Amino acid sequence: MKNISLLSHRKEEPEQGILYLVGTPIGNLNDISPRAINILANVSLIACEDTRQTRKIMNKFNISNHLVSFNKENSLKKIPKLINDLKAGKSIALVSDAGMPGICDPGEKIVFHAKSKGYDVVCIPGACAAITALVSSGMPSSKFIFEGFLPKKKVDREKILFEISKNQKTTIVYESPHRLKKLLRELLDFCGGEREIFIARELTKKFEEHVSYKIDSAIEFFKEKEVIGEITIVIKGIHKKDNEEISESDLKKDLNELTNAGLSSSAASKYLAKKYGIKKGIIYNLN
């Protein structure tokens, strides 16, 4: 791996032997930069998740170029071949189905391999659903936590949900439309109904919708609705009071102190739940 690359951008793009990460639209095809179009039109080949998706962009901007499939299923097999292409002096554009390659797709693996073999990787930035939702949410957006898709395995999922419940920073989560209601119920269990969330549906598309509610009202809002389209969820962090740290161990300590002082576990959990804005059951279960 090279430690230093001086990428002056004085030369004409694309250059030989470079992997370009090209941000593409998350819906509205006009959200693509002239620089991205130039790279897509002139690289030796485009590695893309789904050739049908990438062709929509190419057709819109009259680009014709060689497409190679690079997705979750075939990425490990394809990486050595793509590295060989870089070695042969080819330039490669990597695109995902939508947004920034490397965010919740196999892009990060090829970036790792290309860099560890000493090839330069240059990003042509574009839209990202997480950032688009975050800045539209009205929640603190200068410091945030991005969780991507939550794990499916219960124990791993609950660990992240617990972390979200006590994050002081805004959290961003991706979710599929058919799992949104389940996730909202889980957020209710872990964060309580009062926590504010922002659900961005179909960002940049014709039927873009922003739903800003507390968790319990959001559940009510979607109750009778069939959820369709792409969804990004932004969850407000809990309010930090007087520099109080609220790690799991601190919560346990507080709980012990209160119960040792004679409060029942239930009353102590209720008190701490209110103090830190965390669901009572979560604190009770730390017992």
Which residues bind to ligand SAM, rule: CB under 6 A? 26-27, 96, 98-100, 103-105, 128-130, 174-176, 200, 202-205, 230-232
Q: By beta-carbon distance, which residue lies closest to ligand SAM?
A: 99
Q: Residue holding tokens 């962090």?
A: 237
| Cα–Cα separations (whole angstroms), residue 259 to 27, 126, 145, 208, 256 | 53, 53, 33, 49, 5
CB of 8 to ligand SAM, least distance (A): 27
Q: Between 147 and 230, name the residue whose CB sits nearer to ligand SAM.
A: 230
Report which residue type is found at 134: L
Query: What is the CA 161 to chain-centroid distance, rounded?
Result: 15
- Cβ proximity to ligand SAM: between 89 and 138 the closer is 138
What is the closest distance, in whole angstroms, from the C-beta atom of residue 101 to ligand SAM in the complex?
A: 7
Question: 107 with 95: CB under 8 angstroms?
Answer: no
CB of 273 to ligand SAM, least distance (A): 30
At 208, list the tokens: 């873009």
**Which is closer to ligand SAM, CB of 203 or CB of 273?**
203
Least spacing, CB of residue 150 vs ligand SAM, in Å: 11
Exposed / middle / buried, residue 164 (Cβ in 10 Å: 0-12, 13-18, 19+): buried
Which residue's entry shows tokens 């998706």? 53
Supply angle C-alpha 41, 65, 27, rounded to 5.
Answer: 70
C-alpha angle 174-180-186 in degrees, rounded to nearest 5: 95
Q: How far is CA 115 from CA 1, 5, 121, in A?
A: 6, 10, 7
18 versus 127: smaller Cβ distance to ligand SAM: 127
- Taking the least distance from each CB to ligand SAM, the nearer of 213 and 284 is 213
Residue labelled with tokens 């060689």: 66
Least Å distance, CB 270 to ligand SAM, is: 35
> Which alpha helices (DSSP H) does the chain contain, by range?
34-42, 51-60, 75-87, 107-116, 129-136, 154-166, 180-191, 215-222, 248-260, 265-276, 280-284
Q: Is 199 or 273 the residue whose CB approaches ligand SAM more closely?
A: 199
| Shortest distance in whole angstroms from residue 183 CB to ligand SAM | 11
Q: Which is nearer to ligand SAM, 98 or 238 (CB)?
A: 98
- CA dist 252 and 283 (Å) reads 8
Instruction: Give the nearer residue to ligand SAM in terms of CB position, either 205 or 280.
Output: 205
In angstroms, what is the minimal distance from the CB of 217 to ligand SAM?
A: 20
Please state the closest distance from residue 96 (CB atom) to ligand SAM, in A. Answer: 5
